[in-house]
Amino acid sequence: MELTQAQAREIEEARAQPHPTLRATVPAMEALLYRPIPVLDHGFVRVVDYMGDDAAVVQAARVSYGRGTKRVQDDEGLIRYLMRHWHTTPFEMAEIKLHVKLPIFVARQWIRHRTASVNEYSARYSVLDREFYIPSPEHLAQQSATNRQGRGAALTPEHAEAVLRLLREDAARCYDHYLWLLNETEEATPLDPDRPGLARELARMNLTLNVYTQWYWKTNLHNLMHFLRLRADAHAQYEIRAYAEAILGVLDAWVPITARAFRDYRLSAVTFSAPMLACLKRMLAGEVVTAETSGLSRREWKEFRAALGLPA
């Protein structure tokens, strides 16, 4: 990921001048503010603003006049209780705003999370940068044989090289043609003064789905954790998981108590269905339960064993 000089300067200017505020402030977030955290080959996540901290969650849960409890320990107990019992509204009381640069096919997964505010860079209005996501070879994997929406073994180096060459060439050619259609250089000067440029809103359709776009994305802490639970999960596609993991790091900096509770009660938690729970009770009572005697479907039995770290 590289910034232009103008971008780097804008960021440093935004960081140059602290202001006094009476609002809740998190030093670890101040250290992060505005600076891009690199993700994939050309993407990033930047924290642009934040509202609230761990104490703000407590303060809202208590509808208090001041800054929550006196002791951090009490805050932690309450936050863990709220998390465990799905009292979600206090977590809506903290808010974060990110600037994200990401490939279009990742943006299309991301946008399915509807309870957020989004301002995307407009390719109707402006020209997209010449940047496309090309996976690193170790992330090229064959279609999974067991999971229709997953990856299997890695490709051989020769095969990977052939795939990457093709991805690179198609993206580059489509982007070159996009510029030809626009009849603009990347510096917005006409290539051919005798030919009008095609409307931007039309020319963009010639781009491939790995071209990078960018947006401002703002959501509250509750919805952010919901996003992370689904997208930092091992079943999420690697490319969006890379963003989720970068944001998990932001979460740790922003609301460390909430982040710990989130890991314990959401990210690393396991839900057992009523039939699974019945098996569990029998097993704890000393019975040897098998796939056949479990009453579970084959698929559930496998998931059940995996959750307990037992061999299938």
Q: With binding defined as CB under 8 A, does residue 5 bind a copy of itself?
A: no
Q: Please say which residue, 142 or 249, places its beta carbon nearer to a copy of itself.
A: 142
The span from the CA of 229 to the CA of 195, in Å, is: 51
Number of residues that bind a copy of itself (CB under 8 A): 139
Among 72, 205, 306, 312, binds a copy of itself (CB under 8 A): 205
For strand 212-220 and strand 43-51, is the pairing parallel, antiparallel, or unpaired?
A: unpaired
Nearer to a copy of itself, 109 or 245 (CB): 109
Q: Which of 231, 241, 298, 299 is catalytic?
A: 231
Classified as helix, coil or strand, 312 is coil
Amino acid at 156: T
- Of residues 151 through 170, those in contact with a copy of itself by CB under 8 A are 151-153, 155, 159, 163, 166-167, 170
Write down the residue that tokens 């997953």 correspond to: 150
Kindly state whether residue 41 participates in binding a copy of itself, applying the rule CB under 8 A: no
Specify whether 231 is catalytic. yes
Cα torsion through 162, 166, 168, 173, rounded to 10: 150
Among 120, 129, 245, 252, binds a copy of itself (CB under 8 A): 120
| Among the listed residues 65, 234, 292, 311, the single contact to a copy of itself using CB under 8 A | 65
Work out whether 71 is an interface residue with a copy of itself (CB under 8 A): no
Q: Are 238 and 161 in contact (CB under 8 A)?
A: no
Which residues from 271-290 bind a copy of itself, rule CB under 8 A? 271-277, 280-281, 283-284
Of 85 and 292, CB closest to a copy of itself: 85
22 belongs to the binding site for a copy of itself (CB under 8 A) = yes
* Smaller CB separation from a copy of itself, 124 or 292: 124
Q: Which residue among 199, 302, 306, 312 contacts a copy of itself (CB under 8 A)?
A: 199
**Which residue matches tokens 């080959």?**
41
Assess 185 for contact with a copy of itself (CB under 8 A): no
Q: Identify the residue among 202, 293, 302, 306 touching a copy of itself (CB under 8 A).
A: 202
Nearest to 307 by CA among 271, 274, 277: 271
Q: How many Cα atoms within 13 Å fall on the side-chain side of residue 35?
A: 11
**The token pair that represents 99 in the structure block:** 């600037």
Question: Which candidate, 109, 92, 91, places its Cα nearest to that of 100?
Answer: 109
Task: Check if the beta carbon of residue 81 is closer than 8 Å to that of residue 140.
Answer: no
Catalogue the active-site residues: 231
